[in-house]
Chain A
Amino acid sequence: MNYLSYLLDAAHWSGSQGIPQRLVEHLGYTALTMIIALVVGVPLGAWIGHTGRGGFLAVGLANGLRALPTLGLLILLVTLIGLGITGPLIALVILAVPPILAGTYAGVRNVDTAIVDAARGMGMRGREILFQVELPNALPLIIGGVRSSVLQVISTATIAAYVALGGLGRFIIDGLAIRDFPQMVAGSILVAALAIVADLLLAGLQKLLVSPGLQVAPAAGRRRLRAVPDPRPAAQAA
């Protein structure tokens, strides 16, 4: 059996059930979810990180989410709300918010206090400190949260095909229903490729957006460490 036959057949690359259409649906669910999740997660995480109030909530939600079975949440919302986009969309947003919230919170919280104090000493106000100092410095961790959030959403949007949604997961579910294994393989390869490409794009975006001063920091730090006499041999001699 040729596993790639479905994927390589030109007939499956057009039409309302074709691969491009399913890909657009998958990207659409992901984009819609991410917009809502960013609008909710970033301001809330920044506020928690800036004020220091409710930090346990941000961390606890992100940890607790790992145990929550995505399929169960998806099916529960669909049985409560009914078939359609609303139920799955709510499930996707519930899964997408915590990583962004935790990333933004940790990012803002972990900004060197000396930098924040310096900004305050220069006369910056709370809002200026948040937007011009804390958020730019927190960007690597914020984007880290967004990356795991996007992966979670792409992955769960695949499962959403089980509750009659479109997207690339359709090939897996429909293929299973008619015992068409090449169709399932096609869907799986496309989803895996989509996840990898999305993650690489976000990694590239991180390089573009994060201040160069933050990106060379680890290397410069390592060089500086080597310039300082290593205290270890002395400790060993003692």
Chain B
Amino acid sequence: MTWVLGNLPLIGNLTLQHLVFALIPVAIGLLLAIPLGWLANRTRFGRTVTINVAGLLYTIPSLAFFVLLPAILGTQILDPTNIIVALSVYTLALLVRTVADALSAVPPIVVNSATAMGYKPVRRFLAVELPLSVPVVLAGVRVATVSSISLVTVGATVGFGGLGKMFTDGFQRGITEEVIAGIVVVLVLALVIDGLLLALGRAITPWDRIAAAAGRTR
């Protein structure tokens, strides 16, 4: 514990940096996945193309992706943009399919009722279909977030910051405690953020709880 206690400010800084690298891509990926998932859900062709392209992108190993992006985007090798773009693409690839599946699982009778009540397509999408797909989409967001938190560490091998630095630094200087502490902080971070997302999901879908309670009393 001596190393950890002596380096708390460093761990705090790396954790903050790590959160920025891990969470901004999840937000960007989700924002892009909603319109693309909506498109994919509309036609069979769109669905086939989107799911195949997403599968292909998801196949690319992260370290290779981090290194290839400067060649594609024209950025510097250590520009944080690379890591953020790469992880956004992974999140998007994962979530576009989830969003399409979630939207197709909304009961048609609900959508039709909304249309009959006078909802125009855009408002119906935002006020009816999207909220009803929250539980499925959120499950995907949780997977994407946890993966993202874990993947940021890979960037440390080519010099990016974040908690992965505790692994490379611990390796180079032979401090096993630093490596173990790094693993523990990453795991705890993933667990805490996952718990927060779960709580957020409960808070924004109150109808689920009510339906569950009603089911019990019946």
Contact = CB atoms under 8 A, between A and B. Distances in A.
Contacts of B62: 155
Interface stretch (B8-16, B118-126, B146-154): B146-154
Interface in B79-111: 108-109
User: Which bucket holds chain B's interface residue count?
Assistant: 35 or more
B60 interface: yes
What is the interface residue range for chain A against chain B? 35 or more
Interface string B177-190: 00110110011001
A66 B171 contact: no
> Chain B interface secondary structure, helix, strand, loop or mixed?
helix
28 contacts: A66-B146, A66-B150, A67-B149, A68-B150, A68-B183, A68-B186, A69-B167, A69-B183, A69-B186, A70-B154, A75-B168, A76-B183, A79-B171, A155-B63, A162-B171, A172-B158, A176-B77, A184-B67, A184-B77, A185-B67, A185-B71, A187-B64, A191-B64, A195-B59, A195-B64, A199-B59, A232-B108, A235-B109
A159 to B, nearest CB: 6
A32 interface: no
Nearest to A194: B61
Contacts of B143: 66
B61 A76 contact: no
Q: Is the interface of A mostly helix, strand, loop or mixed?
A: helix
Nearest to B153: A69
B140 interface: no
Contacts, number: 128
A31 interface: no
Interface string A57-89: 000000000111111110110111000000000
B150 A151 contact: no
Nearest to A161: B157
Interface in B111-148: 112, 143, 146-147
A185 B68 contact: yes
